[in-house]
Structure 1
C-alpha cells in the first residue's frame, strides 16, 4: 500500500507520539517506585503527550527520517531523574533505564493485537488501522533497540554504567557529554543502521514466533 505524504503523517503520528510518551512516563514511574520523586513533582509521570513532546526531537526529526528513509530517530523531553535519590542509586539505575525500552516492547505487542482486531473490522477501518499498527510495531522496536545501545545518555548506556564495576562505570559515564554527537555521527555515516539492523530483525523474529 503506497501512502501519500498526508497519509504517512496521519498513520505515523499517533504511534510515534504514543511510543515516546509512554517511554518517558515509564522512566518516571520506575524512578518513583525506586525512591526518586523528581519526575513526579515536575508533573512528568503522565501519559499526556504535551508534557513530553519536544518540537524538533518528537515531531520534526522523526518526520524527516520517515520521509527520507533509514532508522527512525527522535526523542522527547527527558524525564528528570535524580539517580542520587534512588534507594540504591547504582543498582536501581538499571531498572529506571530499562523501563523505557521495556515499555516499547510491550507497545509493539499491543500493536500486534491491534492488527488481529483490525482483521475482523470492515475494510474502511481495517486497512488504515493495520497500516498504523504496522507503523506502531516498527517504531517501538526501533526505539527499543536504539535506546538499548550501550552509549550514554541512552538507556543502554545507563544500564552499562549500572552493571560495570565502579571505577569503570565512572569513566564510561564520562562519555555522556559526547553521546549525542557520537550517535548523530553514526546515523549520518550509515554505521548506526548496520549496528541496529540485526537486533531489530531479531526482535521482529521473536514477536512473529510468539504471535505470528
Structure 2
C-alpha cells in the first residue's frame, strides 16, 4: 500500500466508521438510552468520533513500521448505558448489531449505485465505480470484523444475548481474557 492509498483508505474508512458508531448511538437512543445524545456523540460530525491515537496515530505508525503492508484504525466507541435500555437481554445485542448493519446498508447503497451506472463509458465513470467498489469492500470488511464474538467487538454483545443465563461463566471468561489481552 503506497502513501496515496493510505490517504484514500482514510477517505473511505473514517466516514464508514463514523456511520458505524452513529448507528450504535442511534439504536441505543431508540431503545431508551440517551447517553450518546447527552454526551454529544449522536452526531455524524467526525470531530466527535475521531480518536487521536486509534484513528490517526496508530494507522500511520503501523503503516510505516510494516512498510505499508498493514494498517489498522478505530473510531471512539459511542457510549451507552445498557441499564437504560428498555430490553435488558436483547437491547445490547441490538445496539451491537446496529453498527455492522449500518456498514452493510452502506455497502448495499453503493452497490445499487454501481449497478445503476452499469458499464463505464469513460475513465471518469470507471474511477467513480472503482471508488464506490472500495466503499462497498471496506464496509463489508468492517461489518464482518465487528461481528466477531470477541469483546469488545459488536459480535460479543450478540453472543451474550443468545447465550443462556447459565453460561455467565463463559461471558466472564471472555470479558476477562480479551480485555486483559487488549490492556
Give the TM-score category using the shorter length: 0.7 to 0.9
**Aligned in 2, Cα 1:128/1:112: closer, same or farther, shift over 3 Å?**
same
CA offsets, 1:117-144, max 9 Å, x none?
A: 5557773532432232222112111111
**Cα distance, 1:177 vs structure 2:** 4.4
CA 117–62 in structure 1, closer or farther in 2 if over 3 Å, else same: farther
Aligned partner of residue 68 in structure 1, secondary structure: coil
Q: CA deviation at 1:150?
A: 0.8
Aligned equivalents of 1:84, 1:182: Cα separation in 2:
26
Greater helix proportion:
1
Q: How many residues align?
A: 179
Distance 2:67 2:101 in 1: 23
Query: What RMSD, in angstroms, separates the aligned Cα atoms of the two structures?
Result: 2.8
TM-score where L is the length of structure 1: 0.72
User: Does structure 1 retain, via aligned residues, the 8 Å contact 2:120–2:126?
Assistant: no
**Map of 1:77 onto structure 2:** 76
TM-score normalised by length of structure 2: 0.83
Match of 1:67 in 2: 68
Any residues of structure 2 matched to 1:105-116 within 5 Å, and which?
A: 105-116=104-115
**Contact 2:2/2:68 (8 A) holds in 1:** no
1:145 aligned residue: 144
5+ long unaligned stretches in structure 1: 185-212
**Where does structure 2 lack aligned partners over 5 or more consecutive residues?**
none
Matches within 5 A, 1:24-173: 24-62=21-59, 64=63, 67-69=68-70, 73-116=72-115, 123=122, 125-169=124-168, 171-173=170-172
